[in-house]
Structure formats: structure tokens, C-alpha cells
Amino acid sequence: MPLFDLPLAELETYAPALDEPADLDAFWARTLAGSRAAGGDLAETVRLERVDAGLETVVVDDVTFPGFDGQPVKAWLVRPTVAERAAAAGDAAPLPAVVEYLGYGGGRGLPHEHLLWASAGYAHLVVDTRGQGSGWGTGGDTPDPVGSGPAAPGFLTRGILDPHEHYYRRVITDAVRAVDAVRTVEGIDPARVAVTGVSQGGGLTIAVAGLADGLVAAMPDVPFLSHYRRAVEITDRLPYAEITRYLAVHRQHEDAVFRTLSYLDGASLARRATAPALFSVALMDPVCPPSTVYAAYNGWAAGAGAGDVERAIDVYRFNEHEGGQAYRFARQLAWLREHTR
């Protein structure tokens, strides 16, 4: 794939006008307050069940926590065995945590697929994505019990005519509630929670950074779910092409579609972030075009009233949506250690 988006010099200053709804903050405040109330006391509703995964250097818990409207969401919590042994001996400081969100169509898979962050000394919460887990990987375990009106295949157009009904309202709420949940786990430092993810997971990372308080860091990689109208205009790749496919049939719904998506746009939610951020972008990425990534990156924390918030972006000039792949971990680990000392 050749370069197809704006030149890098223009991307670095790209600050599009956003069609941000006037009640965006109120919409999310009501959504999160309602789900927190429905989920009850997390000390009682977050359940951990120890799993024997046959691993010596990490311990694994099968986690269930209340997400949107109190509906159950699954996750794996993977922690270093040495930390648990130290805690049992009364000689351990609480662990920093990394909450990870997953790519489009994937699920939490199997515990032994998630060893890196725990091996580096972090508690690692791998959050399932409701209704997904059948597109790639080794499966998911969280249903989405909420129905949808007419939609194109995939997830982007489920509930597309009303932001209250949209699928990603539920998924973003689940993602915020995952942070709430991990902060209640004994042995985890609630003040040192970071969020991360690739593609869809990167988009959820941005959304959570804009909606959850007190995060120590956010690390979105080649993020999805940002600057929807621009994405639809310049790429024909899925998943953004789901929107195009829907509008090609439902020609009369363009205004309603983009109004709904404006409540879910990472470019707007990024402006509300307060945590330091380490992004990545791939300049030949036709799935999540570079300008959609920079729309979120360049606006990071701009509307939060938090002053000068640290941000950095790693640019992969010759990569498509695979981005940095395994090269990301060493970079993220060094960066995150500076923020979780």
C-alpha cells in the first residue's frame, strides 16, 4: 500500500473541526453513572476465580465484572507469581496494572496468550469485548444481550440511528468499568493503572482515557474509532466500510448516522484525556488512516483543562495496519516504567 493520506508534515498539525455534540459530556456522565449504579458495590460484584493454566511464573484469575447496565463482562487477570508469594509473606507493594482492550472481532482468548506484561512485573487485565471473539484468535466469552435495528454486517452500525442504542456505547462503558473493577482488586495499586490496545483496542484506550479519572498512562496503537467522517471519505476498507455500506442502502439517514457517531468519536474524547499518552501510527495504514489517528493525537487533552499533558507518537512509515507489532512492547515497557515508578 503506498502513502495515500496527508503528508507527514501536514498530519503533524492536522486539527480538523469536529462535529462535537453540545451534550457529549452529559451523555457520558449519565451513561457511566447509570451503569455504576446498576453494577452495585464492586467489592461484592467483581468476581475472581483462580484458573490452573499450568504456568509457573504467573497466576491467572478468571474475572467477571459488571459492565454496561450491570451486564457481566469477562476478563483474564494475569499477575507475576513472585508478587503473590511476596504478598502472602506480607512483604509486597501493590502492583501497577495494565488494562488491555482487544482488536476488532477478537476475544480474550486463552490465558497463556497473555504473558508479557505480567512477566514485566505488572498486573494485566485482558478485557473481553462483548459480542465479539469469533472473527480471529481463540475466542471470547462475553455475550451482548442487547438487540439492534437494521445494520450492516459487523458492529459499527448496530444501533446507528441513536447514540443511546449504539453498540459502542456499551463497549466503551464496559471498558471504563474494567478500570473501575481492577482498582478494587487486592494487591493492585489503584493510582497506577494504565490502559492500552491495538486498533479497536486503541480506540477504546482513547475513549477510556477521556472518560476515566486518574489513569497513569494511555498507550493506543494504530487506533480505530476516531474521526469517522474522514475515515469513510478516504478508505474503503472494513470496518469503516460498514458505515459506507449502510448508507449506500439507507440514503436518508446520513445526518442521523454521523450524529450518533459524534458521541463515540475518539477525536472528541481524546480532548478530555488527562493522562500521558504514547500513540503509534502507520503511514500506509488503509484500515485506520493516519489522519484519523492524528485527529485524536493532536487534540489530546486540549479540552481537559489539565495543562500541558505529555504525549508522544511513534511513526511507522512503511507499515500498514500491522504497525509496530512486537517492536511496540520494548518501547511501551520502557516508557511505562517511567510513569509507574
Q: What are the catalytic residues?
A: 199, 285, 321
**CA dihedral (288, 171, 114, 54) positive or negative:** negative
Q: How far apart are CA 117 and CA 288, in angstroms?
A: 25
Cell of 318: 512503511
Q: How far apart are CA 61 and CA 205, in angstroms?
A: 22
Q: Are 78 and 126 in contact (CB under 8 A)?
A: yes
Rounded to a whole number of angstroms, the CA Rg of the chain reads 19
Nearest to 293 by CA among 48, 62, 8: 8
What is the edge-to-edge ordering of all strands in the sheet holding 277-282? 47-51, 58-66, 72-80, 123-127, 95-101, 188-198, 217-221, 277-282, 311-316
How open is the CA angle 155-246-264, to the nearest 5 degrees? 50
Q: How far apart are CA 224 and CA 181, in angstroms?
A: 24
> How many CB atoms sit inside 10 A of residue 28's CB?
21
Q: Is 104 annotated as a binding residue?
A: yes
Residue 337 phi/psi, 5-degree rounding, is -60, -35
Q: Which residues contact 7 (CB under 8 A, 6 or more apart)?
A: none
Q: Across the strands, what pairs with 66?
A: 72
Residues contributing to the annotated binding site for substrate: 104
Residues contributing to the annotated binding site: 104
